[in-house]
Each structure stands twice: as C-alpha cells, then as structure tokens.
Amino acid sequence: MKTILSMLELEAFRFFEPDYASLVNNGEPGVLICRIEPASGGVRMLIDEEENPALFAVNVGNTWVGTAWSFRSPTEQEFAFFSAADGDIYQEPRAEIDDALRAYFSEIFCEEIAPAREDLSPDRIEKVRDLLHEIWGTSAPGLCLDACAGSGVGSMLIREMGGTSIAYDNDPALLALGIFSGRLVPERTICIDGTVASAYVPDADRGMGIMFGQMYVYTQERWRPIVEELAGITAETLITVATEEEAHWVKEWAAGVDRDLEIWENERDPIYDRWICFG
C-alpha cells in the first residue's frame, strides 16, 4: 500500500487536521494553509483518477504541512494559492488515497495511545465465526461496515470470508489493540463517533455491530443514532446484543430508518451475542 509520503514523494509531512474525525466539515486548515509563504517549488496537490482534488501540501521549510479534501471542497483561496505558487500535481486512484489517509491517522493514535488489554479468547472468535457463517455463509464479498468494532474480531472474520471492511469505533485503545493484534488493518480503521458514521463511510453491502455495549434506558439516546446510522447505510445489517430487551430496542430504532430486523436467540454463548438482530 502506498503512503501519503510516497504519493507526494515527500520524506516528512503532517496534516493540520489532528485526527480523522476532524476531516469532516473543517474549513480552518484551508485558511491556515493559505497564510504560509512556501519555499520555492513547495506546493503540491494530489488528485484522483477523475481529477478531483484530494489533498494539498505546502513546504514550510523543514517539513511539509497539508490538508485533506476528503469531506470538503477546496476553497477559492486554496485554488488561487496553488495557481499563484505554480504548484505540482500528483495523481493516484481515489480508493488508494482513502486507504492512505485512514492509515496515516490510524498510525497516529497507535503511536499516542497504549493498546487496551487483550479482550478476546480463542473460543469467542470461533463462536463469532460460526455465527457469521450462519448469517452470510462462508463467503461474504463486498464491503462490510464494522460498527463499534472494538479490537476487530468482526473485521478479521470478514476478511477471512473474502470481504473487505471499514472498522470504526470511538475508543482508540481498543482499535490500537486490534491493529497490533492483526485483527484490524490501519488502512481500513477509523476512530470516529458512530452516531455520525454516514459522514465518514460509504454505503455498504453489509454492516455489523458485534456485541454492542450494554444499553440502558438512560443511554438509549446514545445508542439509537448508532443503530440508525448503521442500518441506514447498509443493505444487510447484523447487530448482536446481550438481552432480549436490547434486541427489541434495536429493532425499533432500525424501523425508524425503514429497516425491518428479525430477532432470535443465539445459544452459542451465555453472555456474548446472545440476541441477534438481522435483516
């Protein structure tokens, strides 16, 4: 996989955005970058295969700084800045740019946050594998969104079944554990708030939430948008929870985005993934 550095042929680079979540609706980097007085030959733009701008980099002397246009359009000022500096253009496929961006920010939280302690046992992996095979068979091609992915058992098994995943969670320590363990891959992992997932991830063939955290009456308003987001952008949705009451809440919330999930009990484990919501 190419990195941002290799795509731009640079030895050092950093984004104004501190994390992946900041890439959405954040115009401040566009203002900051236009205030720089670049060194000679010190402006580069990365575009995709359709010539859509994806990334802007400026040399500030001993390093390069930049901003990504993944979720916002370049401003007129940024284009004018680039034209005035007679900048260089680089081109890569959009899918590879997206992977490189996710990897860049995944590496940041892996460097800054200690990974959580191991939270999976071998029998847990086998039980989840058996469940996914029951739902989707042994082959699951296409994209699967792994919501509240934790340390990545779902994503690991989807890859094993021939699919690809984008894993997201708001806990960088668990995501770091998943990356260090090999269950998650940096280019397919993002640390975001699942209540606004659709702002960051594309619609997908499948979506899963393996053992969503405990839901209570007083946390429903937190969990409801997470379920709505996942169900709203996936053609098939699998969510597992601990109790029947939680399962009925999930079914109700999914119905709010016109999704009808079936509920049944899973006897593989007395605690985890006890109740299945799928449709």
Domains of the chain by residue range = 4-112, 122-278
Beta-sheet strands, E only, within the chain: 14-15, 43-47, 53-59, 64-68, 88-91, 143-147, 164-169, 189-191, 204-209, 234-241, 262-265, 275-278
Q: In whole angstroms, what is the distance from residue 30 CA to residue 80 CA? A: 12
Residue pLDDT tens, the chain, 279 long: 999 999 999 999 999 999 999 998 767 777 777 777 777 778 999 999 999 999 999 998 888 999 999 998 898 888 888 888 888 999 999 999 999 999 999 999 999 999 999 988 889 999 999 999 999 999 999 999 999 999 999 999 999 999 999 999 999 999 999 999 999 999 999 999 999 999 999 999 999 999 998 888 888 899 999 999 999 999 999 999 999 999 999 999 999 999 999 999 999 988 899 999 999
The domain made up of 122-278 has a fold known as: Rossmann fold (3.40.50)
Provide the token pair at 158.
């989807």
Look at residues 62, 140, 49, 154 and name the one whose alpha carbon lies nearest to residue 98: 49
Q: In whole angstroms, what is the distance from residue 268 CA to residue 63 CA? A: 54
The CA-CA-CA angle for residues 234, 213, 25, to 5°, reads 55
Q: In whole angstroms, what is the distance from residue 271 CA to residue 158 CA? A: 22
What are the Cα distances from residue 11, in Å, to 5, 44, 180?
6, 14, 25
pTM, two decimals, is 0.95
Q: In whole angstroms, what is the distance from residue 241 CA to residue 209 CA? A: 9
Neighbour count for residue 245 (Cβ, 10 Å): 13
For 65-87, letters b (16+ CB in 10 Å) and e give: bbbbbbeeebeeebeebbeebeb
**Beta carbons of 183 and 156 less than 8 angstroms apart:** yes
